[in-house]
Structure 1
Amino acid sequence: MGDGPLITGPLRRDAVELSHWLESAYPALGPSLRSRPEDVSYIANSGRGARDARSYRRLLLPQLEDLSDAVDVRRKLRRFSTRERLRIAARELESGTDVDITARELSDLADVCIEVALNEALLWADRRFGVPTKLDGTRNGFCVIGMGKLGGRELNAGSDVDLLLFYDTDEGSVVKDGVLQDVTLHEYFTRVAQRLTATLEEPTEDGMVWRVDLRLRPEGSRGPLVNALAAAERYYESWGRTWERAALVRARPSAGDLAVGEQILAALSPFVWRREVNPQLANEMAAMLLRARAEIGEEDPRRDLKLGPGGIREAEFFVQSLQLVWGGRDPVLRSTNTMDALRRLRARGFVTEREAREIGDGYLALRRLEHRVQFATGLQTHALPEDPGLLGRIARSLGFRGAVQLEKDLDRVRKRIGARMASLTSHGTAKTDAPAAPSSIERLLVALDARDEERLLACLEERFDPIRAPELLRHLLALAKRPDGPLGAVSRDQYPSLAETLIDALADAADPEQAARLMTTFFARMVTPSVYVRALAEDPLGTRRLAGLFGASAFLGEAAALHPDLVDQLLFRTTPVSDPEGAASAVEDEVARLGDLQSVTDAGLRLERFVGALRRAKRRVTMEVGIADLAGELDTRKCTLTLSALADAVLSHTVRFTLGDDVRMAVMAMGKLGGREIGYGSDLDLFFVFDPAGEDEHEAQERAIRGAQRVLRILGTPHGDGPGYELDTRLRPSGNQGLLVVSIEAFARYQETQAAAWERQALIKARACAGDPELGAQVEAIAREAAYVRGAPPASDVHRLRMRMERELAGERREGRIRYDMKLGRGGLVDVEFSVQYLQMKHGRDPRVRSQDTETALGALEACGYIDAGHASSLREGYRLLRQLEQRARVHHGSTSPFIEEGAPGLTLLARRMGMRDGRPRGSAAEALLARYVQVTLEVRAAYLAVLGVEAE
């Protein structure tokens, strides 16, 4: 059929088992499974890795070199989308992959299918009508905007794709062979829209690609299929309603000219994101929900997972209501994805940890069930099936014992979501004329004043997790000890609502005991805490944000507790999230504020001021990155790029301060810094190269060694403004036995005659990060020659070194209380790095694979055909998960340990921050994380062995 590598002949046993298993869980898939057994074979042998838009393009586009054959395009699109959706269903069922991951895969699949269908439609229209041309002679841009679940990358197995279709301007004409055509731009793009839609949804013997829904366009079903930017602006400005604002929250350029899409969304931004805060929006959203529920008609709304009480739409509206209320003032909240937006709302203090957990866990539980219903019935439905047998089968596929247990859990989830949505509206407040008994907060404060620990403990257990109450008791008593403290009597008289706000914020933190402990540490350092007490009293949102940070991250929380200026940054942050350029600028600004340091005659004072400036910049950028990381504003790669740029800037300023501008020495980064991959607690792997420049080499080397030693002292010396960097110089030439500083001639000579294979492998990461840039470039060239041109060592030697590291250095335990080593353990980060580096050395004469960055190198190796796509996917997914886990462990626990251990304190919180949830088929969030870790590292190890062509030990 020409749509990818397939296994022909009899089905393999695992493919037969997969087919039977899928049909057992999803009876509606039976006809498809039996009619296209080659798809099942493909799925059984295609690996378990996730796919993204790039992967889909790589698989699909080579089959569609000729878009002029519309019949062929439609057939291949339908077969490809059917097979990939079947693969996604199998992956979700078999591997326990959660629904947000598979929904993202489905959305990326839809994007690529829409992209192909649009390209075919544009090619057809150009040939038939001519080329749409603006007044300046350039081609008009056309963009497909994904809406709803497609816009949020949350597509269901049975979803329509909600689309808006826009082109840039009506000012222009259609030109064919240099002649103006009697076709307007609007007519041209209308025909494109009609053909695009037909390619996607017209049924053929191969089915359809995707159903298309265009009813969200301006004027709905009565409006034109396509609109120019100016017409869209006029419509929304004059007639736009609240439901359209809510719909545009999830608008995302999906296909076509993405720059035009971004231009359109930027133009519509003032309509969607209003500066004024209007809490009544929540009531309007609730009214919209009731109207949508009325459309169910006579059906029992409780069986509708989407529109029923406490259903999917209610969870989405909870998030979108808060986005619309606050997103005009806080652009961070403008995410199209529900779970990502919820994370940002939590990190910015607009929802509590408890609210985020209940909405997030409930939303995903409903989406999981919705997916299984649609896969099992083969219908575009959101209703629970009436058939008890089918419902029981779905329940068991989700890890429940049967339908009764599923429905009981569903009722619990819906009640929580319904209560949270009600809390946003004026209807969520109950009224009563009965005299009120003392509230729990009033009783708690009385017990605090009396320091009655028994009564206080009883009150805490009403608001907090009882397991944590004994530790909380001590910290709350400390916060109330001073009259002017945050829970002290004087503060409560001045700010009557502060105590309840603060206690609720602590109760809702991810780790209430840690939050209370760090809050106590923060206020204990102050001689007069009244300034911060007042700040918290006047900013309840800031109070929740501070308690949330203290409870979510020991690493960031402890830094903030010890440095009040970081709390100022947290409470009153208006600066954008740091990026690599911003990190470098932060160091530059702090050093510039010192003025002319050379005028300071006291050398010790001069050094003290300089180091203080570096430390302040380091902790400020690290805090910004960490907060953005917790909020989901930065992914792991962007975090590491920014932190690496920070280290580079600190190194550059240190070299300049120590050695002056006229220096013939280059600082070479290795390891994670060389690959711009350092995390919050990474060491800096460095060595130094100098150029004697005609001087006596011995004297020049002595001077260079003294300079390098001064640089290292400044980088690592303790300082009151924060810690420096831990340094590692073991990757210098000759390792621990080698010189810290070498001349460029000695470096070149060593690499040519003495360097061991592992040293050449390490040089893949070599990057000049400070000092003389010309000399640094020369060193990089020598390193590239050594690493790439001489080829790879024997795979058996690489594997022998890897296994020795695992045996002698990894701290894994796979019996008793299991412990995994993310870096050195089986299937860990080093497996990925060794796989990629071995292939880079093997194919190093191809300059396309020469990169210090592991992910970039892996992508290049895959694009060049030097690694199987399935193995590349396993390595890429493993690398991303393990790096994210490494970073998350650091930011949450403040530990640089590479281990995750079964039953360890904080594992549940870490698992939740990694996106794992309680109640899935794999059990608790912690169990799900460990199961995911095992699955991914097994796939990484299998890919590593395949890449090196060696047998497992």
Structure 2
Amino acid sequence: MGERPLIVGPRRDPVDLAHWLEAAYPALAPAIQSRPEDVAYIASSGRGARDARTYRKLLLPSLDLRDPAGVRRKLRRFAARERLRIAARELETTAADVDVTAKELADLADVCVEVALNEALLWADLRYGIPTKTDGSRNGFCVIGMGKLGGRELNAGSDIDLLLFYDTDEGAVVKDGVVQEVSLHEYFTRVAQRLTSTLDEPTEDGLVWRVDLRLRPEGSRGPLVNALAAAERYYESWGRTWERAALVRARPSAGDLAVGEQVLGALAPFVWRREVNPQVADEMAAMLLRARAEIGEAEPRRDLKLGPGGIREAEFFVQSLQLVWGGREPTVRSTNTLDALRRLRARGFVTEREAREVGDGYLALRRLEHRVQFATGLQTHAVPEDPVLLGRIARSLGFRGALQLEKDLDRVRKRIGARMASLTRHGLVEKGEPSHSLERLLSALDARDEPRLLASLEERFDPIRAPDLARHLLTLAKRPDGPLGARSRDQYPELAATLIDALADAADPEQAARLMATFFARMVTPSLYVRAMAEDQLGTRRLAGLFGASAFLGEAAALHPDLVDRLLFRAMAGPIDAARTVDVELEQLGDLDAIPDPVARLDSFVGALRRAKRGVTMEVGVADLAGELDTRKCTLTLSIFADFVLQHTTRFALASGNGGARAEGQPAPKIAVIAMGKLGGREIGYGSDLDLIFVYDPAGQDEDEAQEQSIRAAQRVLRILSMPHVDGPGYELDTRLRPSGNHGLLVVSIEAFARYQETQAAAWERQALIKARACAGDEALGARVMAIAAEAAYERGAAPAAEVHRLRMRMERELAGERRGGARARYDMKLGYGGLVDVEFAVQYLQMVHGRDRRVRTQDTEAALGALEACGYMDSTVAASLREGYRLLRQLEQRARVHHGSTNPFIEEGAPGLTLLARRMGMRDGRPRGSAAEALLARYVHVTHEVRAAYLTVLGIASEG
């Protein structure tokens, strides 16, 4: 029998965990044996990721900054325990990939630096006085994280690279009202020395982190700290390419973060040049060769960092392109390597295939690097030569043994090396005559010879998993003026090669070709867009990339060429302004009242709203794919836009009579539109329903007449929101959360609403009111409704936990439709085991229990989680599990919609498109779990188990029942 991979799940027994860690990482054995309480803590703690906020909450209460010895001791022990926890978390195959644990390490380092700095500043204040600017305010001092710390990519054995800056030399140190002899520069130099000593001076407890200050201006010969003006002078006069590259990953880490942003803003012109200079890549390659020569190893290929095709080449590939394009395209500026790669891909500066090969390879090398450093306890990047140790590391990564690991490593390095070489040998965009394979492909297209075309595709598309690809390419070449037509190829000789390569490199080449064909089939004269594609190769790659990455966005773009023109062949207009988008479309209509025909007036109004909706949805989706907006910002933007649509729609409906005719002389009823569910929490996604209830106030009118008017007005609102239109779909609507549900009136008076909540509302209905938010209509009435809702939701306490749990289990049994485990497993992200409803029920239950504390009153689930944790109503470990689960599930829900265009809440093993979805979720092929799709499913199962455990803990339920 051969060696078996060393892959295991989370360990809960401390002894078992200790033995397991020692077996995988022998160098950790002394620390494990000397501090068994750390292992017990890790075994009992949750497996959720920790961020800087969590670290502060765990560390700060135990510290007294006036006790330097205590600070040093506790910092060292805390950092050692958390590093051990992170090692265990990364080793568990269902816990986290290396980029997640690298962020945990970076956040841990940030907090440790923050504590050490605060202690140093307090010490300096007491000893020397207060550093004071000429205006009497205190000087600001900031620690800038560089390298892997700046990119939140910290290694298990990394130094932390720091730059130290203060705002100005204009001022003095003042103590008891007297100016001191020590200068501001001397003051901050002493702070820097003490900060460094606290972090990296060895004691019996070890050290917190090794500190490297050599990236500062003038390197080891330069001052430890610099004022902003001195830094600007240095970089303007003496800054070199390597310093530009280093500053790409600069990030304010601790201290006065505003000063840090001021420093980076001042240095931005040095880093980000407006001119496009491809020679930057050659300079970066030369720097890499010098660094490789300096290490002088007999076997440079064993060096994971500086060896051929190593980590540094992957980083330099990304940073070179950032430096080339970042001056003109600010969106590609990111300190994190993988995030920057996503942004470069979204803007067409790298292809989907390049991004996948460099990203997957970079992570494979980083995983191995982490395991080597944990296993050896050394700050090393060398692959161990000891076959026993290397075999142990290989099995911990899911390989059968060292030989399989080394074969995979060789494959990864060749791909990264080829990508870096492509920047230096051929420039950023290859030019020249089409290759022989392209000539064969185009010849087959001209002859409309599908068998020959299929054979030529196999030479260019890797792998060929697209049975209908040839048919779509034939469609693109059918018309002479089409993008692959004979006349277009004569006019624009390079377009065919650009387009074919762009389609080949798309995430889904067949889908990209299909949507490209649909796009051009709708045009009477395609020459305008053919010319635009020929003149803008990046735009062509963006278009093919969008079509291949997202069925939802791609189909919308294919049907509406104005979206393509707006998003891909023009400069982006800046941050998405949802309100302005609606206003612009309505302004272009002019005076609606001037349109005499009420049907035409309604059609014009609805068309403007639909055009605004498809534009904002497309902009948010593209930004989402590019990684420029996280899930929370996407849902917030879409929710804000829906609010504006509701406000305009309500005003229009109230100002119009039946059929759109204005009701002269008739007072408009007072109506408040109340958002519920995801809209209430400002959490709607790309296909979300709008949950609404309507409340009216008779305001002195006859009750029956007021009710009838209000019902008609609400019906008009719902019709306008949902009616079909040539300019795009509206919103799906759900009014079932109104009092008495489907059996109740569409619109209810405020008195009836208050009476129902007081005497009839079930506990689940009161719980639903936590999400209630007045979003349109009469503001004063909306405020009155919200006061009633708040009293019902928060002042009367929660239902018994057993009742809440019974309802939750009923939803899971009757509505989820899951198949957990076994072949073709299917999971419901919303209603299933450990799904979004688990998080929402746990949070809302505690909000109702502690609702008299106004700090926990919010419709936003993540904000409520933070408030409950901050107020002490929820354990930090439980909060971390719920927060991590909620973020992952919401992101997965949104990504499934944007990539596949489906609104169903399921992910299913073996489903078409699961691999693409998994990659967009950050999963990669080649991880210990196998394929990206397998990694996603494993991650899902792990996270939902953690969420369910946290949910049960919150409700105090011992058995799921």
Q: Residues 754, 455 of structure 1: CA spacing in aligned structure 2 closer, same or farther, 3 A cutoff?
A: same
Question: What is the deviation of 1:599?
Answer: 1.2
Q: 1:333 to 1:662 in 2, by over 3 A?
A: farther
Q: Take 1:437 and 1:806, find their aligned partners in 2: how far apart are those partners?
A: 57
Equivalent AA in structure 2 for residue 868 of structure 1: D
1:122 matched residue in structure 2: 121
1:602 Cα deviation (Å)? 1.0
1:895 aligns with 2:902: yes
Q: Deviations over 1:589-616 (max 9, x none)?
A: 2112211111111111111111111111
Q: What code does the residue aligned with 2:495 have?
A: L
Q: Which amino acid in 1 is paired with 2:279?
A: Q
| Counterpart pick for 1:527 among 524, 527, 530 | 524
In 2: Cα distance, 1:125 partner to 1:949 partner = 48
Q: Distance in 1 between matches of 2:536 and 2:584?
A: 29
Deviations 1:665-724 (A, max 9, x none): 110000000000000000000011111111111100100000000010000011111110
1:490 match: 487
* Aligned residue number for residue 262 of structure 1: 261
How many Å separate the matches in 2 of 1:819 and 1:599? 55
Q: What is the aligned counterpart of 2:749 among 739, 743, 746?
A: 743
User: Residue type of the partner of 2:643?
Assistant: D
Q: Secondary structure at the match of 2:13?
A: helix
Residue 70, structure 1, aligned to residue 77, structure 2: no
**Count of aligned pairs between the two proteins:** 936
What is the DSSP-based 3-state SS (H/G/I as helix, E as strand, rest coil) of the residue aligned with 1:274?
A: coil
Could you tell me how far 1:487 is from its partner in structure 2? 0.3
Q: Equivalent of 1:806, from 812, 828, 849?
A: 812
TM-score w.r.t. length of structure 2: 0.96
> Does the 8 Å contact 1:460/1:466 carry over to 2?
no
Which deviates more, 856-865 or 415-424?
A: 856-865
**Among 447, 452, 468, which residue is 1:450 paired with?**
447
Alignment partners' CA distance in 1, 2:344 and 2:920: 14
1:168/1:229 contact within 8 Å kept: yes
3-state SS in 1 of match to 2:467: helix
Task: Give a deviation string over 1:542-579, Cα, whole Å, max 9, x none.
Answer: 00000000000000000000000000022234344544
Contact 2:93 2:928 in 1 (8 A): no
**Match for 1:453: what amino acid?**
E
Letter of the structure 2 residue corresponding to residue 672 of structure 1 = K
Q: Against the structure 1 CA distance between its residues 18 and 599, is the aligned structure 2 distance closer, same or farther, given a 3 Å change threshold?
A: same
What residue is the counterpart of 1:670 in the other structure?
676
- Secondary structure at 2:360 match in 1: helix
Amino acid at match of 1:74: R
Name 2:617's counterpart in structure 1. Answer: 622
- Residue equivalent to 1:597: 592
Whole-Å separation in 2 of the counterparts to 1:604 and 1:696: 30
Residue 569 of structure 1 is matched in structure 2 by: 566
1:759 paired residue number: 765
Partner of 2:160: 161
Matches within 5 A, 1:310-709: 310-426=309-425, 439-576=436-573, 578-579=575-576, 582-660=577-655, 664-709=670-715
Residue 184 of structure 1, CA deviation: 0.7
Counterpart contact for 2:141–2:165, Cα < 8 Å: yes
Aligned residues of 2:794 and 2:848 also touching (Cα < 8 A)? yes
- Structure 1 counterpart of 2:938: 931
Q: 3-state SS of the aligned residue for 1:808?
A: helix
**1:728 paired residue number:** 734
Q: Deviations over 1:255-300 (max 9, x none)?
A: 0000000011001000000110000100000001001111111431
1:775-799 superposed Cα distances (whole Å, 9 cap, x missing partner): 1111111000000101001111111
Amino acid at match of 1:554: A
Show the counterpart of 2:664.
Answer: none
CA deviation after TM superposition for structure 1 residue 70, in Å: 0.6
Asked if structure 1 preserves the Cα contact closer than 8 Å seen for 2:12 and 2:43, the reply is no
> Structure 1 pair 248/392, CA: closer, same or farther in 2 (3 Å)?
same
793, 797, 818: which one aligns with 1:791? 797
How far apart in 2 are the matches of 1:612 and 1:430? 41
Q: Does the C-alpha gap of structure 1 residues 428 and 331 become closer, same or farther in structure 2, counting only changes over 3 Å?
A: closer
What is the deviation of 1:897? 0.7
Q: Distance in 2 between matches of 1:748 and 1:820?
A: 39
Q: Using the alignment, how far apart are the partners of 1:266 and 1:643 within structure 2? A: 30
Q: Distance in 1 between matches of 2:500 and 2:392?
A: 44
1:546–1:570 contact (8 Å) kept in structure 2: no
- Over 2 Å off, 4+ runs: 426-431, 435-438, 465-470, 572-579, 660-663
How far residue 501 of structure 1 moved from its aligned partner, in angstroms, is 0.5
SS at match of 1:616: helix
Q: Does 1:852 align with 2:859?
A: yes
Contact in 2 for aligned 1:104/1:153 (Cα 8 Å): yes
Q: Where does structure 1 lack aligned partners over 5 or more consecutive residues?
A: 1-11
Native 8 Å contact 1:460 1:469 kept in 2: no
Instruction: Give me the whole-angstrom Cα distance separating, in 1, the residues matched to 2:314 and 2:653.
Output: 57
Matched-pair contact (CA < 8 Å) for 2:45–2:877: yes
Cα pair distance change 1:559/1:866, threshold 3 Å: same
Tell me the alpha carbon deviations over residues 229-253 of structure 1, each in whole angstroms, 9 at most, x when there is no partner.
0000010011100000000000000
Structure 2 residue aligned with 1:5? none
* Alignment partners' CA distance in 1, 2:819 and 2:389: 42
SS in 1 for 2:516: helix
- What is aligned with 2:916? 909
Q: TM-score, normalised by structure 1?
A: 0.97
Work out whether residues 669 and 709 of structure 2, in 8 Å CA contact, stay in contact via their aligned partners in 1: no
Paired position in structure 1 for 2:960: 952
Question: Residue type matched to 1:299 in 2?
Answer: A
Deviations 1:365-408 (A, max 9, x none): 00000000000000000001121110111011000111111110
The answer for the alignment partner of 2:663 in structure 1 is none
Structure 1 residue 437: Cα displacement: 11
Letter in 2 for 1:456: L
CA contact (8 A) 2:673 2:695 kept: yes
Once the two structures are superposed, residues 620-644 of structure 1 have per-residue CA deviations (whole angstroms, 9 ceiling, x without a partner) of 1111110010010010000010000
Please, which moves more after superposition, 654-663 or 707-716?
A: 654-663
Instruction: Quickly say closer, same or farther: Cα 1:358–1:466, change in 2 above 3 A.
Output: closer
Determine whether 1:865 maps to 2:872. yes
In structure 1, C-alpha distance between the alignment counterparts of 2:90 and 2:463, rounded to whole Å: 36
C-alpha displacement at 1:430, in angstroms? 15
* Equivalent position of 1:82 in the other structure: 80
1:113 alignment partner in structure 2: 112
| Mapped pair 1:716 → 2:722 | yes
1:826 pairs, out of 823, 833, 846, with 833
User: C-alpha separation between the residues in 1 aligned to 2:415 and 2:72?
Assistant: 45
Would the aligned equivalents of 1:303 and 1:383 in 2 still touch at CA under 8 Å? yes
SS of alignment partner, residue 136 of structure 1? coil
Which amino acid in structure 2 is aligned with residue 291 of structure 1? R
Provide the C-alpha distance between the structure 2 equivalents of 1:480 and 1:596, rounded to a whole number of angstroms: 46
Q: Distance in 2 between matches of 1:733 and 1:585?
A: 35
Tell me the secondary structure at the aligned position of residue 103 of structure 1. helix
Structure 1 counterpart of 2:659: none
**Contact 2:532/2:569 (<8 A) preserved:** no
Within 2, Cα distance between the matches of 1:524 and 1:429?
32
Structure 2: runs of 5+ lacking an equivalent = 1-10, 656-666
- AA partner of residue 714 (structure 2): A
Please tell me whether the aligned partners of residues 77 and 113 of structure 1 are also in contact (alpha carbons under 8 angstroms).
yes
Q: Tell whether the 8 Å contact from 2:150 to 2:253 is kept in structure 1 after alignment.
A: yes
Paired residues of 1:121 and 1:196 also in contact (CA < 8 A): yes
